[in-house]
Chain A
Amino acid sequence: MCAQEVASLIVGMHAPDGFLDPSVTATMAIVAAVVLGKALRASEVELGERCVPLAGVCAAFVFAAQMVNFPVASGTTGHLLGGALAAILLGPWVGSLVVAIVVVVQALVFADGGLTALGYNTVNMAIVPAFAGWALFRVFRRLFPCNTSGVVSASALAAGVSVVLSAMAFSLQWLFGATAPVAFDTVFGAMVGVHMLIGVGEAVITGLVVAAVMASRPDLVIGAADLSPIQLAEEPRIANRTFAIGAVLVALVLAMVVSQFAASDPDGLERIAEDTGFATTADNQLFADGLFADYATRGLDNAGLSLAVAGSTGVLLTLTVGWGMASAQRRLRPAPSIQP
């Protein structure tokens, strides 16, 4: 299935100009601007006057880390997205700010992703992974023992799932702002399926990077700030291969469930829709492919299933990101100064 192979490019990289319609594009730009404004102020509170140089070099780190190739399978390679990793290491506010800066610079200077797509690219690649990643990390931390292995496992799982949530966020934006006659179900199935696999890589690499930082400077992992020296001293015991194989199995099971979900709806790939209203209305209206145009209803057309998937995705995303922000708010306090 070709669609699934390239769907990864959207969240994995950057959507170009013209991918979503103007109204969703504008809405996402406003959301991104508001959240980042808040993240900037929060970062300045957390890091104090160190904010600018630290966020700057960390952004350079994320940018460079995204260019590093990791082995995936039989010589093929992938790269880190880093949203959840940044949140776990730097906290969700600084983390989302840093990754957002990377996304902005990539669009502005390297023409990676369109300038007008910046709003939703920032939401999908920085805000959702950082805050949802942070929320999931907090939840998983409670399920795992309070030691280094627990932190590493929670980081890995949170990073993996956060990538899938990003894919879901994009699918939802597609539901409201599609510019092509591809149904929500198709996009959702392809995006989520592919990103489950990408998520496995993200999980393994994030876990390993966090483990490496924990080994030398555990104090730099904000998500592990509550560990005592004794808990830190417990030897992490994670066998790479077991961990990776386990993650792949989980992802495969999930992918099968989702593809069942998508396949049970025959409308997805093969159906030739009767609805050709759009092509005619789009001709002379500037905002024809907008929020209330045919596509929004087309997605919902496919009966109860789309509605259920879209609805539950929306609820899931909102809850996770919202909870991430709420818990980020709670831990918002001035950092202890290094200058006593």
Chain B
Amino acid sequence: MSAAIAVEDLAFTYPGEHHPVFDGLNVTIEGGERVALLGPNGSGKTTLALHLNGLLRAQRGRIVASGLILSDDTLAEIRRRVGLVFQDPNDQLFMHRVRDDVAFGPANLGLDDTEIARRVDQALDNVGAAQLADQAPHHLSGGERRRAAVASVLSMNPEILVLDEPTSGIDPLGRHELADLLTSLPQTQLVVTHDLPFALATCARALVLDEGKIVVDLKTEALLDDSDLLARHRLALPFGYHS
């Protein structure tokens, strides 16, 4: 019962499609773990991420997040406890100042102004972006934008972070800084990514999702050593990279 996330027998088909994305998916992530979720395009990684805080709802099976079964009654609380960082920070940073974006979640929780301000400062501080508070999101670099997006979720004090392709659109240095940031955060994390070295740098455990099933559940190092296994699921290390 210490699992931070338990996906049990999840089935989901997008409206109007015939082929199900999931038909009996099971995933368990323990509290405090950082887990990489890998897999080829179209394997259902983002769809799974959207289920974890109730943006998509299970058609069969259930989602348990930090001890709460996802339902209409627990939806609001689960959205607070599970922070979702979207693939494109431009979707997440929709206000004109970083500060307002970071304040959006706490304001929806109905907190008072002083508490909101405290949370905003703390969240920006946690991601090392205090100096960005009054900047406009479209003036930021890819890496800064990503950190601001993480802050906009941290301000809700989540217990679990789900990050969708966090390294997309970031330069190499920004990628290193992001890895340092993620490993410094205490939250349970599920990192959806194509970026195998990044997965290795941040997550001890790796899952491979292919055709709606978890087909690999290994230590990240062990997975990266097995090039046949990687190739079977359309995963590959960067050129010249040997782990």
Contact = CB atoms under 8 A, between A and B. Distances in A.
Interface of A: 53, 219, 338-340
9 contacts: A53-B94, A219-B16, A338-B15, A339-B55, A339-B56, A339-B57, A340-B15, A340-B57, A340-B59
Contacts of B16: 219
Interface residues of B, number: 7
Nearest to B75: A339
Interface of B: 15-16, 55-57, 59, 94
A340 B50 CA distance: 13
A6 to B, nearest CB: 37
**Chief secondary structure at chain A's binding surface:** loop
A219 B15 CA distance: 12
Nearest to A340: B57
Nearest to A57: B94
A52 to B, nearest CB: 10
**Chief secondary structure at chain B's binding surface:** loop
A338 B50 CA distance: 13
A339 B79 CA distance: 15
Nearest to B58: A340
Nearest to A229: B16
Nearest to B59: A340
Top-6 shortest CB links A-B: A339-B57, A340-B57, A53-B94, A340-B15, A339-B56, A339-B55
Contacts of A219: 16
Contacts of B55: 339
A53 B57 CA distance: 21
Contacts of B59: 340
Contacts of B57: 339-340
A340 B59 CA distance: 9
Contacts of A338: 15
B46 to A, nearest CB: 15
A340 B16 CA distance: 13
Contacts of B15: 338, 340
A340 B55 CA distance: 10
A218 to B, nearest CB: 11
Nearest to B15: A340
Given A219-B16, A338-B15, A339-B55, 6 more contacts: A53-B94, A339-B56, A339-B57, A340-B15, A340-B57, A340-B59
A219 B59 CA distance: 23
Nearest to B12: A340
Contacts of A53: 94
B79 to A, nearest CB: 12
A105 to B, nearest CB: 14
Nearest to B54: A339
A340 B56 CA distance: 8
A339 B55 CA distance: 7
Nearest to A336: B15
A340 B57 CA distance: 7
A156 to B, nearest CB: 28
